Amino acid sequence: MLQTTSFKRRPAALALAALTFFWTARAAQAQVEAVAAALSEARATLAAAQPKLKEKAQRPAPSVPEDVWQKILEAVKTKGKYILEAAPIPSFFNLEEIRGDVKADHIADSVSVAGFLEEDGRFQPEFASLLSEEWKIDPKDGNWHVEQWSFRTDLYGEVAAVIHSTLVETPDMTLLSVKSRNLVVGDPGAAAKFKALLARWSAGGQK
| Per-residue pLDDT of the chain in tens (207 residues, 90 and over written 9) | 333 333 332 333 222 223 222 222 233 344 444 445 555 665 665 555 554 434 443 444 457 888 999 999 999 989 999 888 755 556 889 999 999 999 999 999 999 999 887 878 788 889 999 999 999 999 999 999 999 999 999 999 999 999 999 999 999 999 999 999 999 988 999 999 999 999 999 998 655
Strand (E) or helix (H) holding 97: strand 91-99
Strand (E) or helix (H) holding 36: helix 28-49
Asked if 194 and 151 touch (Cβ cutoff 8 Å), the reply is yes
| pTM score of the predicted model | 0.69
- Provide DSSP, 148-171: EEEEEE-TTS-EEEEEEEEEEE-T
Asked if 31 and 25 touch (Cβ cutoff 8 Å), the reply is no
Q: List the domain boundaries for the chain.
A: 12-54+64-202
At 117 the three-state DSSP class reads: strand
Q: How far apart, in Å, do the first and last CA atoms of the chain sit? A: 26
